[in-house]
Amino acid sequence: MTLSLLINGSPHQVDAAPDMPLLYVLRDHLGLNGAKYGCGMGQCGACTVQIDGRAAYSCITPAAAVQGRRVTTIEGLSAKDGALSPLQHRFSPRR
Ligand code: FES
């Protein structure tokens, strides 16, 4: 199935099973590795993204469920000039 996703403000067409976790689509199809696999059960928060501005666990969110919604990953918090957001800066070992 081709999924139409809006990730970090950019549209993407992804061939994936509709029940594939959003986390796998982000990491394996789009190369966005900021969201991590931790527990895979919605308990640890390592996979957290924003969906329409609200925090969500991408490991338990089917990719098809976010079609037509805005998904923001940690990578999407950067300014257009590439500058780190305050949150990204806090995670950076180079600060
Ligand atoms: S990997 Fe732990 S909540 Fe998603």
Ligand 1 residue neighbourhood (C-beta within 6 Å): 37-40, 42-47, 57, 59
Domains of the chain, CATH where assigned: 2-91 (3.10.20.30)
What DSSP line would sit under the chain, residue for residue?
A: -EEEEEETTEEEEEE--TTSBHHHIIIIIT---SS--SSSSSSS-TTEEEETTEEEEGGGSBGGGGTTSEEE-GGGGS-TT-PPPHHHHHH-TT-
- How far are the Cα atoms of 1, 36, 49 from residue 33, in angstroms, in the given order? 23, 7, 11
**pLDDT tens per residue across span 37-87:** 999 999 999 999 999 999 999 999 999 999 999 999 999 998 888 888 888
- Cα(42) to centroid(ligand 1), Å: 4
Residue pointed to by tokens 């959003």: 22
Residue-level pLDDT at 78: 86
Q: Where residue 89 falls among pLDDT bands split at 50, 70, 90?
A: confident
**pLDDT for the residue 95:** 62
**Whole-number percent of the chain with pLDDT over 90:** 81
Give the nearest ligand 1 atom to 60 CA.
Answer: 4
Percent share of the chain, pLDDT over 70: 99
What's the gap in Å between 45 CA and the centre of ligand 1?
A: 5
